[in-house]
A and B are shown apart, each in its own frame.
Chain A
Amino acid sequence: AQSVTQLDSHVSVSEGTPVLLRCNYSSSYSPSLFWYVQHPNKGLQLLLKYTSAATLVKGINGFEAEFKKSETSFHLTKPSAHMSDAAEYFCVVSPQGNQGGKLIFGQGTELSVKP
């Protein structure tokens, strides 16, 4: 079965410093992986997705993630945090052969950004 594990439930950074949100996946094949962000009382917004093309994926708002098969990781990074980045972030895997809307979510990482 496919699954994702987000290694930190909460990350706190200062504005202007780098962000690293860690995610490991479990899958017997090359999965489709996503990062979504959820601001308070809002729905989910897609940040970026990996679908077996380039291993370094660039997303919106300066975020990027690198797919590392040898480490089964898909960590999310941003060079410089902004106050508006404070939100909850979800690492997500799409099951093999999924043609539709079934996604498996990690437990989420809450990102706090200090001034």
Chain B
Amino acid sequence: KAGVTQTPRYLIKTRGQQVTLSCSPISGHRSVSWYQQTPGQGLQFLFEYFSETQRNKGNFPGRFSGRQFSNSRSEMNVSTLELGDSALYLCASNPGDGNTIYFGEGSWLTVV
């Protein structure tokens, strides 16, 4: 069974640009959540989607957004990139009950 797949794995963007990251959950999992990991702030919850609807949201500005498609794949978008958005963005999936949550290997974003 394939794990959580994130693309791209590495990317470099310029301040002011926008970026879209993609996540394919484990087959059968309907919940996808996103986290930002930085050395200073650690791991912080961004948002969670379940059956194409945002179910939970963390404390991030509106520049951070996401969506989920009917096949449970999810994308997150960051607009008007700032240097501080440089981070590892992790996607996680679970069947929807939050019982066991599996993480992908992440997308490394560098903003220059």
Contacts and interface: CB of A to CB of B under 8 A. Distances in A.
Interface string A88-108: 001000100011111111111
B55 A107 contact: no
Interface residues of B, number: 29
A12 interface: no
Contacts of A44: 90, 92, 103
Given A43-B106, A108-B42, A103 B96 contact: no
Interface in B71-95: 90, 92-94
B105 A103 contact: no
A106 B58 CA distance: 16
Contact of B56 (A32, A100, A107): A100
A33 B101 CA distance: 12
A45 B43 contact: no
Contact of A94 (B43, B55, B98, B102): B98
A58 interface: no
Contact of A101 (B43, B94, B104): B94
Nearest to B3: A43
Given A100-B31, A107-B42, A43 B96 contact: no
B33 A101 contact: yes
Interface of B: 4, 31-33, 35, 42-45, 48, 50, 55-56, 58, 90, 92-94, 96-106
